Amino acid sequence: MIGVGVIGYGYWGPNLVRNFVEAAGSRVVMVSDLRPERLAQVQSRYPSIRVTTHYEELLAHPEIDAVVIATPVSSHAAIATLALEQNKHVLVEKPMTASVDEAVQLVALAEARNRVLMVDHTFAYTAAVRKIRELIDTKALGDIYYYDAVRVNLGLFQHDVNVIWDLAVHDLAVMDYLFPSAPCALSATGISHIPGQPENVAYITLFFEEQQIAHVHVNWLAPVKVRRTLIGGSEKMVVYDDLEPSEKVKVYDKGVTLSERPEAVYQLLVSYRSGDMWAPRLDSREALQVEVEHFNDCVKNGKRPETDGHAGLRMARMLEAADRSLRARGEPVRLQTSEAAV
């Protein structure tokens, strides 16, 4: 039985605690939070779980094998480092760190200690995204041409991070999970409509060495809530709408066929293909349940997580590059595509 300690019982912490309590093979030993009223909620619902306002006490507990970090991103690196130094396995909310340097150090430390380091890229464990990954891996969509995501709503303004770090991180994590190769460069533009506050509208374009392109639009100022992704392939196209109660994934047998007649080499012929649409059946299990069970399996059997520390490092590189491009009014920023620096 894997002993688990959860640090942070704010917005996401209760979901993490519930899933680790319900998962086979793990038990929650202790929860830490700075707010006594939050810890009172833990004691009311889970009387057997110990609580503390000092996460150092949790890290030192001998019955805790794995630490789950659900605190502000600025504290992720420091807490995860202490946990790994005490030979604890670590699951940390996204983004994994606030900088590339912190991410590089965490990955290196986890590998040196032979500990599991996993990032909570929850959407990678949804049935919808995993089905799309299956379609891509089996070449059902053909060659991937583009990835186009929109994530907008009239949302809560953040004071410590911009809209890219708040919303785009979800779509970048999905793209990173789906695409077999990483982007080689990106360009980001955005604007803040409140003086002195982070950008509330942003657009990111990601470039690849292959004939692919990705685009992410995020916005805290939209009158409607939209969570829609389009993925175009040479054979089929996908519409993924996370707000759909059913049929979140729709596969369209639509596209274009390009051909050149030998007698007209200078004339490019384009024909349009329009076939059926189908919605694959999806598993109804909660994504976080799938993720928690995967983490437990990795800890128990020494496996490498699907969203490991390297995925967190790639995310940190994209977010840091997006901030640099924002400051330079959209100037493209090259991305490191290998893990040689780790």
Question: Which pTM value belongs to this model?
Answer: 0.91
In the chain, CATH 3.40.50.720 covers 2-120+287-297
- pLDDT given for residue 342 in this prediction: 44
Please state the three-class secondary structure of the chain as a single string. Answer: CEEEEEECCCCCHHHHHHHHHHCCCEEEEEEECCCHHHHHHHHHHCCCCEEECCHHHHHHCCCCCEEEECCCHHHHHHHHHHHHHCCCEEEEECCCCCCHHHHHHHHHHHHHHCCCEEEECHHHHCHHHHHHHHHHHCCCCCCEEEEEEEEEEECCCCCCCCHHHHHHHHHHHHHHHHCCCCCCEEEEEEECCCCCCCCCEEEEEEECCCCCEEEEEEECEEEEEEEEEEEEECCCEEEEECCCCCCCEEEEEEEEEEEECHHHCCCEEEEEEEEEEECCCCCCCCHHHHHHHHHHHHHHHCCCCCCEHHHHHHHHHHHHHHHHHHHCCCCCEECCCCCCCC
Q: What are the tens digits of pLDDT across the range 175-214?
A: 999 998 999 999 999 999 988 899 999 999 999 999 999 9
pLDDT value of residue 27:
97
Average pLDDT estimate for 131-147: 96
CA distance 236 to 107: 37
Distance of CA 94 to the CA centre of its chain: 6
Query: In this predicted model, what pLDDT tens digit does every residue of 59-94 receive, in sequence order?
Result: 999 999 999 999 999 999 999 999 999 999 999 999
Least confident of 3-17, 56-70, 134-148, 268-282: 268-282
Report pLDDT for 275.
Answer: 77
Burial of 151 (0-12, 13-18, 19+ CB in 10 A): buried
Q: 269 pLDDT exceeds 80?
A: no
Predicted pLDDT at 177: 97
Give residue-wise pLDDT tens across range 309-323.
999 999 999 999 999
Would the pLDDT of 265 be above 60? no
User: What rounded mean pLDDT belongs to the chain?
Assistant: 93
pLDDT of 237 above 60: yes
Name the pLDDT band for 341 (thresholds 50, 70, 90): very low
pLDDT, tens only, 89-126: 999 999 999 999 999 999 999 999 999 999 999 999 99
Cβ neighbours of residue 326 under 8 Å, at least 6 residues apart?
Answer: 162, 164, 188, 189, 190, 199, 202
Query: What pLDDT, on a 0 to 100 scale, did the predictor assign at position 258?
Result: 62
For the residues 152-173, what does the mean pLDDT come to?
A: 91
Q: Cα–Cα distances in Å, from 1 out to 80, 105, 250, 286?
A: 22, 29, 40, 22
Residue with tokens 């995925």: 311
Convert the pLDDT of each residue in 276-288 to its tens digit: 899 999 999 999 9
Tell me the sheet residues that pair with 227: 151
Average pLDDT for 322-326: 97
Burial (Cβ within 10 Å: 0-12, 13-18, ≥19) of residue 12: middle
pLDDT band at 255 (very low <50, low <70, confident <90, very high): confident
Please state, for a pLDDT cut of 70, what percent of the chain lies above it.
Answer: 93
Residue ranges, comma separated, of all CATH 3.30.360.10 domains in the chain are: 124-284+317-334
What lies within 8 Å, CB to CB, of 302 at 6+ separation is: none
How big is the chain by its Cα radius of gyration, in Å? 22
CATH classification for the domain delimited by 124-284+317-334, as one of 3.20.20.70, 3.30.360.10, 3.40.50.300, 3.40.50.1260: 3.30.360.10
Average pLDDT of the segment spanning 5-27? 96
Distance CA 115, CA 302 (A): 8
The CATH architecture annotation of domain 2-120+287-297 reads 3-Layer(aba) Sandwich (3.40)
